[in-house]
Amino acid sequence: MLIGETKSGLKFTLRKFKKSDVSDLAKSINNKKIIQNLANVPYPYTKKDAVWWINQNIYGGNKDKLNLVIDLEGRLAGSIGITSLVPGHKGHLGYWLAEEHWEKGIMTEVTRVFTDYCFKEFNLIRIYGSVYDWNLASARVIEKNGFVKEGILRNNVKNLFGKLGDEWVYGKVK
């Protein structure tokens, strides 16, 4: 479990998924404004989808990823994770936050705490992530955390709603 605080004093916890997160997960992520920025996430997002995701994270046994709940006041408010994890080398960062918590500096600070932890815990030398070109808020989050835009994959993404766009690739090296 990791604990942090935003500049405005809002405290958050990063913790493992629990079975009791099903309703909060399904409710929070079932939002077109969130889904349009995520790869391979169904819409509508149902409780059945949430059960599957939580079970994958509790029982999946995958050593190449770590997905944590962003917990605000005891409730799931989003998630942050690292996948394609190669300890001693690199990992791919991904995150989302429920719309009601946007524009409060939460994700910027969550990302700082989580990436600092991943660099140390997994002895990483590189963390990378990508942002869809229409998601400027997400680009600001990782740029504020010292990630550098390394390239643009033109017309590389098509979201569930058919929107085609560029994928901006960012990296941070220790």
Q: From the first residue on, what is the mean pLDDT of each consecutive set of 10 residues in the chain (174 residues)?
A: 85 96 98 94 96 93 91 96 96 98 96 97 98 98 98 95 95 97
CA distances from 52 to 19, 42, 60 (A): 10, 12, 10
Task: Specify the pLDDT at position 109.
Answer: 96
Task: Select from 91, 86, 87, 68 the least CA-distant residue to 78.
Answer: 68
- For 138, residues 6+ apart whose C-beta sits below 8 A from its C-beta are 37, 95, 107, 131, 132
| DSSP 3-state of 96 | strand
Question: Burial of 103 by CB count in 10 Å (0-12 exposed, 13-18 middle, 19+ buried)?
Answer: exposed
Residue 9 backbone class (left: φ over 0; alpha: ψ -120 to 50; beta: rest): left
Domains of the chain: 2-128 (3.40.630.30)
| DSSP 3-state of 154 | strand
Task: Specify the pLDDT at position 138.
Answer: 98
Q: What's the rounded Cα separation, in Å, for the pair 126 and 2?
A: 20
Task: Specify the pLDDT at position 137.
Answer: 97
Task: Specify the pLDDT at position 11.
Answer: 92
Q: Which two tokens stand for residue 63?
A: 């050593």
